[in-house]
Amino acid sequence: MINKFYRVRRSYNALSRPLLMLALLAATTMATAAELTFAIHPVLPQQRTLQVYQPLADYLTLATGQQIRLITSSNFLAHWQMMKRDNYDLILDGPHFTAYRAKRMGYTVLAKLPDVVSYTLVANEEQMILEPVELIGKTIATTPSPALGALRLIEIYPNPLRQPVIVETPDSEQAAELAVEGKVVAAMIPAPLVGRYPSLTTVATTEQLPSPAISASPAVDLELQQALRRALLDAPNNPDGRKALEALNAPLLEAADNQRFQGLEQLLEGMWGY
């Protein structure tokens, strides 16, 4: 009887181990599927990006019940290459990248940062630069192409024989700081950053475009997309949402759709992989 019981128990254990492993594997797969990746364009240094956008990821996690993990890139070239692999569920990005994904990759715009965005060519006040033409042959710091600042800078200096010397930086803050320190003559930075650097004077400001937007991959089901959109637009009415907006230095997030960005992907024409 004891041997018979032992054989039955041993047989049960042998069967239960694979079942247990399958259950654990299924639980792990479900946990992984529940996690959404949220990429942020590298306008700010990576650590600063995490500080600014983590409250937004936390708020969306609470609002939707889906764990959201932030993804950052070291520079815009790495961001562009990773973006084309379609590895992100959600992404906050500039207008040209947003338009590209909406047209080429089936992403859906959920909401955008308020107002519009432009880039400003600034110079160290000691240089006494008043016009862009005065910067031909001089150093200008900017994030590398295909960042919007670099693309806008090319528009200011279309003649390849009459251009400034471009000094590439990983993010816009570093570009501004190089100009402040006198290590370059000028910098091309997002207009909202200009007020943080009183020693820099405005030389030129580009045409305004829609502010960066949050878009969702087609891999995110429509019901979840709607939940995310509702949470984003309702942020001012929620304590965690208000905390996220405070970190973004924004009063709210605006409603937006793919049509708002239509045609802006053309700014990327000529880029490798466009």
Domain ranges of the chain: 35-116+210-268, 119-207
Q: What is the pTM of this model?
A: 0.77
pLDDT number for residue 144:
87
What pLDDT, on a 0 to 100 scale, did the predictor assign at position 26? 40
Note the CATH architecture for domain 35-116+210-268. Answer: 3-Layer(aba) Sandwich (3.40)
- Higher pLDDT among residues 268 and 230, named by residue: 230
pLDDT tens sequence across 166-187: 999 988 999 999 999 999 999 9
d(CA 134, CA 129): 6
Cis preceding-peptide flag for 190 (omega within 30 of 0):
no
Q: What are the pLDDT digits (tens) for 129-161? A: 999 999 999 999 999 888 899 999 999 999 989
Per-residue confidence (pLDDT) for residue 74, from 0 to 100: 83
pLDDT at 274: 55
pLDDT at 142: 95
Segment 228-240 shows an average pLDDT of 98
Domains 35-116+210-268 and 119-207 share a fold: yes
Range with lowest mean pLDDT among 41-45, 193-197, 217-221 = 41-45
Mean pLDDT of the chain: 87
Instruction: List, for residues 69-91, the tens digit of each pLDDT value.
Output: 999 988 887 887 777 776 799 99
Listed range (29-38, 82-91, 176-185, 226-235) with the worst mean pLDDT: 29-38
- Asked if residues 184 and 127 have their Cβ atoms less than 8 Å apart, the reply is no
Q: Does residue 3 register a pLDDT over 60?
A: no
Which CATH superfamily groups domain 119-207? Periplasmic binding protein-like II (3.40.190.10)
